[in-house]
Amino acid sequence: MTKAILIKNGHIIDPSQNIDQAGSLLLKNGKVAWLGGNDEKPPATDYEILDARGCIVCPGFIDMHCHLRQPGYEEKETIASGSRAAARSGFTTICCMPNTNPHLDNRAAIDYVKSVAAKEGAIRVLPIGCISIGSASKELVEMGEMAEAGAVAFSDDGEPVADSRLLRQAMEYSLAFGLPIIEHCEDKALSAGGYMNEGIIATRLGLCGIPAAAEENIVARDIAVAEFTGARLHIAHASTAGSVELIRQAKKKGINITAEATPHHLTLTEERVMGYDTNAKVNPPLRTQNDIEALIEGLKDGTIDIIATDHAPHTDNDKLCEFALAPFGISGFETALGSLMSLVHANKIDIKLLIAKLTSAPAYILGDRYGRLGTLEVGASADVTIFNPDTEWIVDTSQFASKGRNNPLNGEKLKGKVMATIYNGNIVYKEESFPAGGN
């Protein structure tokens, strides 16, 4: 049986319960057993102590959008390596996208991911199933079987559902299972041949651009279909000011829509591509400062519901080529918190809002079929993240737990670091410098 853990002297922030206080937290038998102030004594028991002095103690982070590459692309990432990288970053639940090889487009594929995750995963891994077979926008998957097997949502991520009639069918079928349709919004006719954001930087570099309209066209179409069907629509990696406004207006109309933004779209602009840095090549592309400001405002007013990493690892050889030939994607788990804390330190967002977007908000979208996630409520799963908001560190991608080293922040200083991650009452990651207080 796992030994009980008492986390003391921390600053507990739990948006699900509106808790923001100094205090202690007792974890026992894989559950949150007690939460109280520093002047209160926990129930008598034998426990290990973690001294969280100077740290934030919050529910374990939840990532609704990542790529673990298994099966088929294990040279890029595996469920084991990806979940270890996520644990180092404070995530206790991650949802993996289905564009693997073969695709996660049937019950057996969902069963496979769940089986490997149970044996080799460091944290909770929830599979997302395809909308169409092979993500080819030709034939709908057996959504009922996949939902029964444990798919938490449906998406052809990496590809939009090109056939609007098929999208309508998928949305209508999804109503029976209460699961969201997650859309990668990209008008392929407009983005064809593009490698980065369309604008002055692309012109200066001589690279074909991807216009904002390529994203916004599909966002608008998907909103229209969602309004027509009443289905749950989730917009993946929104990146433009226009998309934010479309989502905002859809919410005002009462359409059942949620949306996410990534750490890189919230903090990095197209200027990162200067020097033809393939590690800054991502889809949707890094946009402008105006787009960043719109996304931040969307976080603050509730238009953007959650933050998700879109962790997309690649091998070194994948990215060591000319810009046009490099694949899209950033290995984003291990810099997620540090880069997002730059927004807090710059007073652009509040730390409680940031934690909500990483915990209670994605838990609300996922629902309670996977347990009580995103909360430190007594009786909930003992998933906890402890981080020091002021610890400075240098990004060294050679030390990543992820197989993917493709991150444009390599060598940069970030402020804010995960000290320990606890999943289901077990310490799955602990920084060497983080003190344990004994028994």
Active-site residue set = 310
Q: What is the separation of C-alpha 42 from the centre of its chain, rounded to a whole number of angstroms?
A: 33
Q: Which residue has the tokens 């969602």?
A: 226
Report the C-alpha gap between 362 and 373 in whole angstroms: 9
Helices (H) and strands (E) in the chain, counts: 14, 19
Residues 6 or more apart whose Cβ sits within 8 Å of residue 395 = 334, 335, 338, 407, 409, 410, 411, 412, 413, 414
Q: Structure tokens of 86?
A: 């996520």
Kindly give the residue spans of alpha helices, DSSP state H, lying in 121-240.
143-149, 164-174, 188-191, 200-205, 212-229
Length of the chain: 439
126 has which bridge partners?
A: 95
Q: Exposed (0-12), middle (13-18) or buried (19+): which is 204, by Cβ within 10 Å?
A: exposed
Residues 6 or more apart whose Cβ sits within 8 Å of residue 93 = 60, 61, 62, 63, 123, 124, 126, 362, 366, 370, 373, 383
Q: Which residue has the tokens 């954001």?
A: 197
Q: Structure tokens of 212?
A: 């904002």
Closest CA to 401 of 429, 424, 376, 374: 429
**DSSP reduced 3-state for 337:** helix
Which helix (H) or strand (E) covers residue 319, if one does?
helix 316-319
Q: Structure tokens of 412?
A: 């940069």
